Amino acid sequence: MADYVPKRDTDQYVWLQNLRTNLPRHVAEIDITPARLAQVNDWIDAHLAAHDLVRKKRDEWLAASSQKKLIARQSLAGLRKEIARWKTAATDSSAAIAGLQLSASVPAVDANHHQPELEARGHLGQVRLRFKKRGATDVNLYVRREGETAWRLVARVSRSPYVDPTPVAVPGAAETREYQAIGVVQDREIGQPSDTVIVTVPGTVVRQ
């Protein structure tokens, strides 16, 4: 008979409590000596204590996180108003604004030589694409099947990974594809395409 221990913490906690409460009633039936019962109870008590500690720390973290959010709303609202006043000061405040990092900085992108990174992995009926934008705001993903000459736009995406759900051309048959990524800034493609990645897409199961 396979052993059984619940995997979910909440179920496991209830299971341990039940074991701790009811085990002494069955020591004769399952031949547990007093020494073995004491050892089992030590294990149970230690595990229950660990569960209790995790629950306590989680409750403390939730309370602290809630308090942080409340303080952040109040303090950041006040700071934004004050910073806005600094930026409209009568004197030239550009040096102070730069020194205090009061304006968002946008990383410079070499529009001529920019090149994103791309990886592809084929799964049943789809391809998972992972990419690095390297400063671009988005990337355009392109694909072409083996034997094709023209690239086809798959999607414009800003977050990696992206899953291309395009099915294989022949149901049940694997196919080879090439993918490229091109960086995009302000709705304009820049730089050079990523290195071409080649991936085999397993065929989907054909159902009769």
- Measured in whole angstroms, the distance separating CA 115 from the mean position of its chain's CA atoms is 24
> What phi and psi values does residue 58 have, to the nearest 5 degrees?
-65, -45
Please check whether residues 167 and 83 belong to one and the same domain.
no
Interstrand relation of 188-190 and 138-145 (parallel, antiparallel or unpaired): unpaired
The enclosing H or E element of 45 equals helix 34-87
Residue 78 shares a structural domain with residue 1: yes
Give the Cα separation of 201 and 124 in Å (integer): 7
pLDDT of residue 98: 78
Q: Both tokens of residue 95? A: 């040096």
Question: How many domains, the chain?
Answer: 2
Residue 124 near residue 204, CB atoms below 8 Å: yes
Amino acid identity at 177: R
Each residue's pLDDT, cut to its tens digit, for the chain (208 residues) gives 678 899 889 999 999 999 999 999 999 999 999 999 999 999 999 999 999 999 999 999 999 999 999 999 999 999 989 988 888 887 777 788 878 888 765 567 888 889 999 999 998 888 999 999 998 999 999 999 999 999 999 999 999 999 999 989 888 889 999 999 999 998 899 999 999 999 999 876 544 4
Is the domain of 58 the same as that of 128?
no
Does 82 lie in the same domain as 7? Answer: yes
Tell me if the bond preceding 161 is cis, omega within 30° of 0.
Answer: yes
Q: What is the pLDDT of residue 37?
A: 94
Shared domain check, 92 and 3: yes
Considering the domain architecture, whether residues 2 and 74 belong to the same structural domain is answered as: yes
At 151 the pLDDT is 95
Parent domain of 93: 1-103
The domain that holds 167 is classified in CATH as: 2.60.40.10
| Helix, strand or coil, per DSSP, at residue 170 | coil
The answer to whether position 207 is within a domain reads no
